[in-house]
């Protein structure tokens, strides 16, 4: 597919050799759209991966630590690691352009393509554009700050940004002014200064952080990131508007569909808040809900719990957060947990060993953070050990096991086969959507991104119908 929205589709295949010319640098201004062919599933995977990167940034920026400071960075890197976003970790942390490996090139390609997919998904409204732009800027800044040595100047040259440090004579001449007018700590003789049009650094000018003369701002090298990211912001703004205008030319329903759901996924619908109007979820109804409204992953965990009165840690976490997300109150959840677990163990042991996690998930102890229920991507990419029941069944289970399970749930044989074939090909979330269709007997309009979204679409829809 052609993300450049060119009217004529190019059929050119990417050959690894071409990557060198296409991606001379880790950092990319994304001025040229990708023109290679990719499969629908790769399309989806890349989009979701980048979305997760952006979400990590959004989350990190809400933390009470200095943006782009060490703590902030460490948090981002840890999260990227945890969520297994290897390509992005690679491309953010590698220092620029020297001696790239095949893996580097693959990462650059993923970066490039995923940016353009999300650009399409996020160009549709002012609000979406703003969110996307802010996150992409954070990503860009982080990456620019990680560039080392000559790769900064290389990046500038590749992108035709003619910024060069002023020479020593000029610096000596402006010595006093630069010392007086430049904010931040620096040693004049160790710092390069770039002379840039003042409108390239409106924020530095506005706050009187730089020396300004005849319409030019003299920015120290450590502020170059402000300048470059400001330029990036402008081009990105324009490009988003451009994409928005060209959007109607994209006539592939599958892609449109996918893009449409991607941006729904953003609004932080991370289901971390216990929704007040959903709080009529009763413990007594959970069995029925599991049968009618749970996605397969959660239904399986629920049934495991009911059968064994025990769950392993990974399962417990995944399910508790899900329960919180569907609106089960903390007290009710604790009671449910106690009822089940104490069928095998005594009350005392439960209190000591298992009640903690419930409190933890609801943010009652520990860091008091409000944990969000896991999204599909998180569940799918989580590692699942032998004998563990969590994770995404479409990915974890053998296709015969999956097929049998689905049939045992009352699906017709051909439907069960269809779903397990999808899963086989790696389209887990699409398979999940089909399961929705065949159990709910209605069309699945949105790609399943989140077990709680699944529940909402199934149960919420019924509630809404009843209401009407």
Closest among 32, 31, 40, 38 to 11, alpha carbons compared: 38
Beta-bridged to residue 211, according to DSSP, are 218
Q: How far apart are CA 437 and CA 301, in angstroms?
A: 21
393 binds ligand SF4 (CB under 6 A): yes
Of 376, 402, 416, 422, which one interacts with ligand SF4 (CB under 6 A)? Answer: 376
100 binds ligand SF4 (CB under 6 A): no
401 binds another protein (CB under 8 A): no
Q: How far apart are CA 215 and CA 194, in angstroms?
A: 13
Q: Which stretch binds ligand SF4 (CB under 6 A): 219-227, 262-270, 398-406, 427-435?
A: 427-435
- How many of the other CB atoms lie within 10 Å of CB of 344? 11
Concatenating the DSSP letter of every residue in 85-129 gives -HHHHHHHHS-SSSS--HHHHHHHHHHHHHHHHHHHHT-SSHHHH
237 binds another protein (CB under 8 A): no
345 binds another protein (CB under 8 A): no
325 binds ligand SF4 (CB under 6 A): no
Beta 211-213 vs 216-220: how paired, if at all?
antiparallel
Minimal distance, residue 194 CB to ligand SF4, in Å: 48
Q: Which stretch binds another protein (CB under 8 A): 55-63, 174-182, 391-399, 459-467?
A: 174-182
Q: How far apart are CA 272 and CA 148, in angstroms?
A: 38
Closer residue to ligand SF4, CB minimum distance, 225 or 380: 380
Closer residue to another protein, CB minimum distance, 30 or 198: 198
Q: Which stretch binds ligand SF4 (CB under 6 A): 87-95, 260-268, 294-302, 406-414?
A: 294-302
Q: How far apart are CA 406 and CA 416, in angstroms?
A: 6
Q: How far apart are CA 281 and CA 289, in angstroms?
A: 9
207 binds, among ligand SF4, another protein, none (CB under 5 to 8 A by kind): another protein
Of 295, 314, 325, 373, which one interacts with ligand SF4 (CB under 6 A)? Answer: 295
Distance of CA 280 to the CA centre of its chain: 31
**CB distance 443 to 437 below 8 Å:** yes
429 binds, among another protein, ligand SF4, none (CB under 5 to 8 A by kind): ligand SF4
Of 72, 336, 428, 459, which one interacts with ligand SF4 (CB under 6 A)? Answer: 428
432 binds ligand SF4 (CB under 6 A): yes
Q: How far apart are CA 303 and CA 353, in angstroms?
A: 22
Minimal distance, residue 227 CB to another protein, in Å: 13
185 binds another protein (CB under 8 A): no
Minimal distance, residue 218 CB to another protein, in Å: 10
- How many of the other CB atoms lie within 10 Å of CB of 6? 12
451 binds ligand SF4 (CB under 6 A): yes
**CB distance 33 to 26 below 8 Å:** no
296 binds ligand SF4 (CB under 6 A): yes
Q: Which stretch binds ligand SF4 (CB under 6 A): 156-164, 206-214, 293-301, 458-466?
A: 293-301
Closer residue to ligand SF4, CB minimum distance, 29 or 43: 43
- Structure tokens given for 113: 């393509």
- Structure tokens given for 80: 């990227």
319 binds ligand SF4 (CB under 6 A): no
Closer residue to ligand SF4, CB minimum distance, 244 or 428: 428
- Structure tokens given for 163: 């910024």
Concatenating the DSSP letter of every residue in 14-54 gives P-HHHHHHH-SSSS----S-------HHHHHHHHHHHHHHH
First to last CA, the chain: 41
Q: Which stretch binds ligand SF4 (CB under 6 A): 25-33, 68-76, 190-198, 291-299?
A: 291-299
Q: Which residues bind ligand SF4 (CB under 6 A)?
A: 295-297, 376, 379-380, 392-394, 428-429, 432, 448, 451, 454
Q: Which residues bind another protein (CB under 8 A)?
A: 177, 179-181, 198-199, 202-203, 205-208, 211-215
């Amino acid at each position: 597919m052609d993300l450049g929205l060119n009217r004529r589709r190019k059929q050119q295949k990417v050959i690894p050799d071409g990557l060198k010319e296409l991606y001379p640098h880790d950092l990319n201004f994304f001025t040229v759209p990708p023109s290679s062919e990719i499969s629908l599933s790769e399309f989806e995977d890349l989009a979701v991966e980048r979305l997760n990167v952006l979400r990590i940034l959004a989350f990190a920026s809400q933390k009470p630590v200095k943006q782009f400071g060490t703590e902030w960075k460490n948090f981002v890197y840890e999260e990227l690691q945890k969520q297994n976003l290897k390509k992005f970790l690679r491309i953010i942390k590698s220092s620029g352009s020297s001696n790239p490996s095949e893996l580097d090139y693959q990462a650059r390609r993923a970066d490039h393509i995923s940016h353009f997919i999300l650009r399409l998904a996020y160009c549709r409204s002012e609000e979406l554009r703003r969110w996307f732009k802010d996150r992409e800027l954070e990503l860009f800044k982080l990456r620019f700050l990680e560039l080392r040595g000559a790769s900064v100047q290389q990046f500038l040259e590749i992108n035709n940004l003619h910024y060069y440090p002023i020479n020593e004579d000029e610096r000596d001449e402006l010595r006093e002014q630069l010392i007086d007018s430049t904010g931040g700590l620096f040693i004049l003789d160790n710092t390069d200064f770039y002379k840039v049009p003042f409108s390239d650094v409106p924020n530095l000018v506005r706050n009187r952080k730089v020396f300004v003369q005849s319409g030019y701002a003299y920015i120290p090298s450590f502020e170059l990131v402000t300048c470059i990211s400001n330029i990036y912001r402008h081009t990105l703004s324009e490009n988003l508007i451009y994409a928005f205008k060209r959007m109607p030319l994209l006539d592939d329903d599958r892609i449109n569909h996918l893009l449409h759901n991607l941006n729904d996924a953003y609004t932080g619908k991370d289901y971390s808040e216990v929704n007040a109007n959903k709080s009529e979820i009763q413990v007594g109804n959970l069995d029925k809900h599991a049968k009618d409204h749970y996605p397969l992953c959660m239904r399986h965990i629920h049934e495991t719990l009911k059968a064994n009165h025990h769950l392993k840690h990974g399962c417990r976490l995944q399910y508790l957060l899900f329960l919180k997300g569907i609106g089960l109150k903390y007290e009710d959840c604790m009671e449910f947990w106690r009822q089940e677990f104490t069928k095998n163990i005594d009350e005392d042991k439960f209190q000591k060993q298992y009640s903690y996690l419930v409190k933890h998930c609801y943010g009652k102890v520990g860091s008091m953070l409000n944990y969000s229920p896991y999204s599909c991507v998180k569940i799918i990419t989580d590692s699942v050990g032998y004998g563990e029941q969590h994770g995404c069944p479409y990915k974890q289970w053998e296709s015969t096991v999956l097929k049998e399970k689905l049939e045992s749930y009352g699906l017709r044989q051909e439907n069960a086969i269809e779903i397990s074939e999808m899963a086989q090909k790696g389209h887990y979330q699409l398979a999940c959507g089909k399961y929705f269709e065949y159990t709910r007997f209605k069309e699945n309009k949105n790609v399943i991104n989140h077990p709680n979204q699944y529940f909402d679409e199934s149960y919420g829809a019924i509630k809404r119908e009843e209401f009407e």
